[in-house]
C-alpha cells in the first residue's frame, strides 16, 4: 500500500509540473512579453486603430509584397520580414517612436516585435490576429 501511495504522489507531482510548464511556456497569447528594457504588448484592433493617425507612431506591416497588394492599414510602412535586408531596414526607424507592427495573423509580427525591442525600441505593440483580426473587427484597409 505504501508503494502505491508513493507512486501516486510521484505521478501527481509529474502532472502538476507538466501542467505548470505548459501554462508558463506558452506565451503566444500573452498580453505582454517581457524582454530587455521594453515591453511588447499584444493589442486589439480597437487599440491598434487609436495609433492609425498618430504622427508619433510608426505603423509597420511586415508581410510580403503579394500580401500587401491585398490591402494595408492606412499609413503603414511595409517591410517584408523575409527580405535579407529586413534588419537593416528596421534600423532606419526612429527608436523614440512607438511601433505598431502587424502581419497576416500575428506570428511574423511577434518575431519582428522581438527584433525591434532588441534594437532599442521601448514601446512596441503587436496587433492580435494580424490584418485578419483587423478585418474581422470591421476595420478597413487601403490599396498600397
Based on the residue annotation, tell me whether 103 is a catalytic residue of this protein: yes
103, 116, 127, 131: which one is catalytic?
103
Three-class SS of the chain: CHHHHHHHHHHHHHHHHHHHHHHHHCCCCCCEEECCCCEEEEECHHHHHCCCCCCCEEEEECCCHHHHCCCECCCCEECCCCCCCHHHHHCCCCCCCEEEEECCCCHHHHHHHHHHHHCCCCEEEEECCHHHHHHHCCCCCECC
Residue numbers annotated as active site: 103
Amino acid at each position: 500500500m505504501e508503494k502505491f501511495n508513493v507512486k501516486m504522489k510521484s505521478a501527481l507531482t509529474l502532472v502538476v509540473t507538466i501542467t505548470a510548464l505548459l501554462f508558463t511556456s506558452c506565451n503566444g497569447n500573452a498580453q505582454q512579453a517581457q524582454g530587455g528594457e521594453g515591453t511588447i504588448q499584444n493589442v486589439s484592433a480597437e487599440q491598434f486603430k487609436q495609433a492609425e493617425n498618430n504622427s508619433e507612431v510608426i505603423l509597420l506591416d511586415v508581410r510580403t509584397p503579394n500580401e500587401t497588394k491585398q490591402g494595408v492599414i492606412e499609413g503603414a510602412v511595409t517591410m517584408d520580414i523575409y527580405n535579407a535586408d529586413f534588419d537593416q531596414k528596421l534600423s532606419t526607424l526612429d527608436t523614440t517612436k512607438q511601433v505598431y507592427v502587424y502581419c497576416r495573423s500575428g506570428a511574423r509580427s511577434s518575431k519582428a516585435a522581438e527584433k525591434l525591442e532588441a534594437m532599442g525600441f521601448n514601446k512596441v505593440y503587436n496587433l492580435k490576429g494580424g490584418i485578419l483580426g483587423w478585418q474581422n473587427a470591421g476595420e478597413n484597409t487601403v490599396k498600397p
